[in-house]
Chain A
């Protein structure tokens, strides 16, 4: 078989191997579970962390995702989505319901959790300056104030670095919807940054750079 890249930049031969592992896992093989866990748990943990921003909650996301996946293991359909995407879907559903529950108790994003990351950047880049870190903080806060669907798309596309095609599969929506959400998110962010006085010089600088 010629090794060619799929649109997820994954080797097809690897995919085939994974299918074998999944089949073993579906029969209850614990070694197969270990292999799948090593492949996918890290990115699910990052997703949970990005969505919920608490280490304990992110651990719960990993645990619940694998528990639910195992319960529903016969329903996994490789023709619809890759195994990783399927796990992402389960994790994302869990995050959403977790956030919904939390929302009953408190107004989200206003509450700083204990483990909320420190906002100022610890690793100053080449353009490091007070303005720069202030800009980062503004951008971060602007992202946090986006509505849930937009924030999900931004998190998946920019933080998790998933291509829009895969985000579309994951969210079970057309690719065009993903792009239009990215567009809406960009307009919101730009509006918020402009309101904070962060537009003109940065854009000029960008124009000069190109």
Chain B
């Protein structure tokens, strides 16, 4: 007569916690039931292995010593007003819930609820006058018989895709041709080039040089300083202002002038800034301007918003076209994503890629940015192409989680960036395919936010060397170094307060600087 299975009792059996009667039953059953014997081995094995596996995998971390004092402070210094926390939290939550319910009820009955923030299409709420006849610089057409597009002006006019078509987000169909196969009429439609050997870059493993290949040394007058204009933004703590201000300065330190608008930062100058749209800039306050990215001339008289969201940031100009690329945290998950738009705000396009700090290559089609792959691996600097926004079109060029603020040189051969491999932010430079990483600075102070000069010979950067934050320029071939200005009228980052930390804390490396030829 077979007895009942004792599977459920095995843990207690192994713990020796069974009553005498149950113990006898288990032992008798195990004599005659191979299934339960196998279960017993299974239980023994887990008993033997589970503890060690959990302890090895989880580790057995020890308590941080400072915690004791913290708990004690919390306990004995705040217990006098504990009634406040005990008695007020619940009613306040209740009120919050009532507010939500009231809002939902209002919506249900068709009331109009005005929520502060962006309202699509509500341009009339803003006070910027439309530009009269200024439609921006026309796109420069590059005629080369490699790639043609059937160009369309609106996304809904795009013809149906052929099976082998590659479509970009700008609504153009991309067709690859071998050289020599293109007729004149097709060549007339070409607006961009993808040169394969440049585009198919390999991934080079990270080699971080510890010594700069040049010796940066400070010089005063023995060299001809470059021309142009550098733009940077500082947080002005003067009472009554307490906002970001953007400044323009010549690289030799002359001609410092503030930009007219208050509370704007992250300036991006067009490499050939002219009086139409010299500048793309992020605005922070909504009093006089839409809070998003504006394009403007130096004097700020002609300006317009080119994006739509508070979170749009980190613009960079295409050197070839009147186009900007920018990053935004506008989606509700607050991941940084890449977007592009024309300099007059028309035809914004989502590049469907996570990333931040984008920088255009001189061809105005390729760009580099900080990102990871979609699994969160291979974080570092990536490159992409406007006409190939499939996942395969993005390539990692430098795998370094702490490589930030890339800037692609005007010659196209190099990318300068800042990195922090030895707990010290310094400037680095690599070829645009990620090879040949060179260190530019090794000062123990912070060096960061690099920006190329328009001739590609100098790099401007911010640094706190010599004890004060300031703007410096470095000649990348000779190592000649010159301080343009000391930041004595503000700070790179504001105090930790709204609205500058809407979604996360703002750091100095979230700013950017920029250099134009005029």
Contact = CB atoms under 8 A, between A and B. Distances in A.
A203 interface: yes
Contact of A41 (B8, B59, B68): B68
B46 A164 contact: no
Contacts of A123: 56
A140 B38 contact: no
Given A45-B63, A186-B43, A63 B70 contact: yes
Interface stretch (A76-84, A89-97, A174-182): A174-182
B74 A164 contact: no
Interface in B322-347: none
A183 B67 contact: no
Contact of B64 (A59, A67, A175, A190): A59
A34 interface: yes
B186 interface: no
Interface in A130-176: 136, 139-140, 143, 154-155, 158-159, 161, 163-165, 175
Nearest to A70: B75
Contact of A158 (B17, B45, B51): B51
Nearest to B47: A158
A8 interface: no
Nearest to B79: A70
Interface residues of A, number: 51
Contact of B68 (A34, A155, A163): A34
B196 interface: no
B75 A136 contact: no
Interface in B54-82: 54-64, 67-68, 70-72, 74-76, 79, 82
A56 B337 CA distance: 29
Nearest to A50: B58
A104 to B, nearest CB: 14
Contacts of B42: 186, 190, 203
A207 B44 CA distance: 10
B10 interface: yes
B41 A33 contact: no
A119 B54 CA distance: 10
A136 B57 contact: yes
A122 B58 CA distance: 12
A158 B8 contact: no
B49 interface: yes
A159 B61 contact: no
A154 B54 CA distance: 10
A30 interface: yes
A101 interface: no
A42 B63 contact: yes
Interface SS of B by simple majority: helix
B46 A189 contact: yes
A163 B15 contact: yes
Contact of A139 (B7, B38, B50, B60): B50
B71 A154 contact: no
A38 to B, nearest CB: 8
A189 B49 CA distance: 12
B65 to A, nearest CB: 10
Contacts of A85: none
Interface string A29-68: 0100110010001100110011001010011001100110
B314 to A, nearest CB: 24
A27 interface: no
B46 A190 contact: yes
Contacts of B60: 46
Nearest to A53: B58
A117 interface: yes
A17 interface: no
Contacts of A207: 41
Given A37-B68, A158-B50, A63 B74 contact: yes
Nearest to B78: A67
8 closest A-B pairs by beta carbon, nearest first, are A159-B54, A158-B50, A158-B51, A182-B11, A45-B63, A179-B12, A140-B57, A206-B41
Interface of B: 7-12, 15, 17, 38, 41-47, 49-51, 53-64, 67-68, 70-72, 74-76, 79, 82, 86
15 contacts: A41-B68, A45-B61, A45-B62, A117-B59, A121-B56, A143-B50, A154-B54, A158-B47, A179-B9, A180-B8, A183-B10, A189-B46, A189-B50, A190-B46, A210-B41
Interface of A: 28, 30, 33-34, 37, 41-42, 45-46, 49-50, 53, 55, 58-59, 62-63, 66-67, 70-71, 117, 119, 121-123, 136, 139-140, 143, 154-155, 158-159, 161, 163-165, 175, 179-180, 182-183, 186, 189-190, 202-203, 206-207, 210
